[in-house]
Amino acid sequence: MSTMNTLSEWFSTPPGKYLLECEQALFDHSVADIFGYNAIQFGLAEYDFLRTSRMPLRATAGDEIGVQVRLDAEELPFGCCSLDLVILPHVLEFHPQPHQILREVVRVLRPEGNVIISGFNPHSLWGARRALGAQMNYPWCGNFITLPRLKDWLALLGLNVITGRFACYAPPLSNPNWLNRFHFMESAGDRWWAVWGGVYFLQAIKHVSGMHLIKPRWNEGLVGKLIPATPKLNREISQCTAQNPEGRTIHNE
């Protein structure tokens, strides 16, 4: 087996094509219903996971060749609260500082902005394949993050998971004929062993606490002593206003 130096190269293999087909369908369905103006896809510039998005500004970003915006994911060159949608297709498990990436994503997301994450599930046949060896090649060299751990990170950063699912239940076989024989597991997996999918797919939203009106605490005793307005008092106020059209303060001597 030839060595895969990038995840994009691995996507050209039979298991890679199988995973790419599943994830493309998930991204197509999710981004089509998210509204806003600015959307960014980190990494994998060869694959347009934003193709069904209706946002006017869509771009790919990362430190690889082919992206539209070259950047370091740990220090994003975007203003705070400037993006409506960020998607991270297998970014976190192949970066040494995944938590820092999420911090930056939260910073640049607008209130109620969305982030969509796809990642390899270590508690699956795909995770077992990584544990059995070949950890020098893609995608097995990645640090697969468990779903509970990822959810904890998102919660600590103020991101609320609104939807998620698993996909790719067939084993990651290199032989396309054998892989096709296990294709029935895709439909059966959602029903019988949903948490054992090879990849997970999460959509989270950035919630910002709303402002609350702070009302003054009135002195009830003082309020009870206030003199209600009378017709005579109203006439006196009108006369004072007419004599001072510029709003100058009247001093009683």
Of the ranges 15-29, 121-135, 153-167, which one carries the lowest mean pLDDT score?
121-135
Asked whether 140 and 7 are in contact (CB, 8 A), the reply is: no
Reported as a single tens digit per residue, the pLDDT across 74-129 is 899 999 999 999 999 999 999 999 999 999 999 999 999 999 999 999 999 888 88
Alpha-carbon separation of residue 167 from 48, 109, 221 (angstroms)? 19, 27, 67
- pTM equals 0.78
Average of pLDDT values for 140-163? 94
Q: Does residue 180 surpass a pLDDT of 90?
A: no
What does the block give as tokens for 34?
């998210």
Q: Which domains does the chain have, with CATH numbers?
A: 7-206 (3.40.50.150)
**CA 42-128-135 angle, 5° bins:** 60
Select the more confidently predicted residue: 247 or 164: 164
Q: Which residues pair with 60 in a beta bridge?
A: 41
Q: What is the pLDDT of residue 18?
A: 92
pLDDT for residue 170 is more than 50: yes
Question: Which tens digit of pLDDT belongs to each residue from 183-225?
Answer: 766 766 666 667 888 999 999 999 887 645 555 565 555 545 5
Strands (E), the chain: 38-42, 57-62, 69-70, 83-89, 109-120, 159-167, 199-206
